[in-house]
């Protein structure tokens, strides 16, 4: 009996929740809630930021900024690692395969233009 009742109730609720009217009503309620709570949320964020500053603790923006900077450092380290790997591979090759023609010596810029 109990299982039959729960199954019937479950089917009724699923049918009710899957209607367009329910979706509209839920959307309106959520929109009203978010509109009403926005000023309180802003006040809470400002208060929290002031409290964190008073305690010399980082804010969310500070942590995000630090994470971005660390990501940039990590990317640069990866680039350096790739270049070192390439240099290591070049060094392992026979000497004749790695020789590169040296460009002709170029006079310093101030001597090419002449003295002013």
Domain ranges in the chain are 10-57, 58-92
Q: Distance between CA 75 and CA 40 in Å, rounded?
A: 40
- Structure confidence at residue 98 (pLDDT): 52
- The CA–CA distances, whole Å, from 65 to 54, 60, 69 equal 20, 9, 6
Question: Cα–Cα distance between 15 and 22 in angstroms, integer?
Answer: 10
Query: Across the chain, what does the average pLDDT equal?
Result: 86
The token pair at 40 is 């309180």
14 sits in which H/E element: helix 2-17
In this predicted structure, the answer to whether residue 92 has a pLDDT above a threshold of 50 is yes
Residue 106, C-beta contacts closer than 8 angstroms, at least 6 positions apart:
112
What confidence category does residue 87 fall into, taking pLDDT thresholds of 50, 70 and 90? very high
φ/ψ of 38, rounded to 5, equals -60, -45
pLDDT score recorded for residue 116: 45
Rounded Cα distance between 25 and 16, Å, is 12
% of residues, the chain, pLDDT over 90 = 65
Q: What is the pTM of this model?
A: 0.46
Span 36-84, pLDDT tens digits: 999 999 999 999 999 999 999 999 999 999 999 999 999 999 999 999 9
């Amino acid at each position: 009996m109990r299982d039959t009742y729960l199954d019937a109730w479950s089917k009724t609720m699923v049918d009710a929740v899957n209607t367009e009217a329910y979706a509209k009503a839920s959307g309106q309620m959520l929109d009203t809630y978010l509109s009403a709570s926005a000023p309180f949320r802003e006040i809470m964020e400002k208060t929290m930021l002031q409290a964190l500053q008073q305690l010399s603790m980082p804010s969310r923006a500070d942590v995000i900024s630090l994470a971005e900077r660390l990501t940039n450092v990590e990317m640069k380290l990866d680039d350096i690692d790739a270049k070192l790997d390439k240099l290591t591979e070049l060094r392992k090759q026979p000497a004749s395969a790695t020789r590169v023609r040296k460009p002709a010596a170029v006079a310093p810029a101030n001597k090419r233009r002449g003295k002013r």
